[in-house]
Amino acid sequence: MSDKIAFRASFPAIQSAIKRSGDGGGMRIQLDIPESDMASAVLLLAMTNKVLLVTIEPEPEDHERTRTPHRRTAKQRE
């Protein structure tokens, strides 16, 4: 397995997407990952007990996707 995993993601449209610890313990983030990138993102499961080095960069503006990756509703998945 490769040591690098890359996928598209965005912060969900919820107030708690970025949480800061009140006791100075750091912060927690949540990400929405589109269905089209799930195969790559599922590889994170093999890294649950590892410390990760995270690099975030915005996708180029000329990309045809919208700012938020498309998420299908449960009705659409049926």
User: Each residue of 14-52: pLDDT tens digit?
Assistant: 999 999 999 989 999 999 999 999 999 999 999 999 999
Query: Residues 5, 38, 60, 58: is their CA dihedral positive or negative?
Result: negative
Those residues whose C-beta lies under 8 Å from the C-beta of residue 36, and which sit 6 or more positions away, are: 8, 69
Residue 51 lies in a domain: yes
Residue 71 lies in a domain: no
Q: What is the pLDDT of residue 77?
A: 54
The CA distance from 61 to 77, in Å, is: 29
- Nearest Cα neighbor of 67 from 35, 41, 34 is 34
Q: What is the pLDDT of residue 73?
A: 59
Range of the domain at 14: 1-61
57 or 71, which is more confident: 57
The CA distance from 22 to 29, in Å, is: 15
Residue 76 lies in a domain: no
- pLDDT tens digits, 4-17: 999 999 999 999 99
Q: Count the domains in the chain.
A: 1
Residue 68 lies in a domain: no
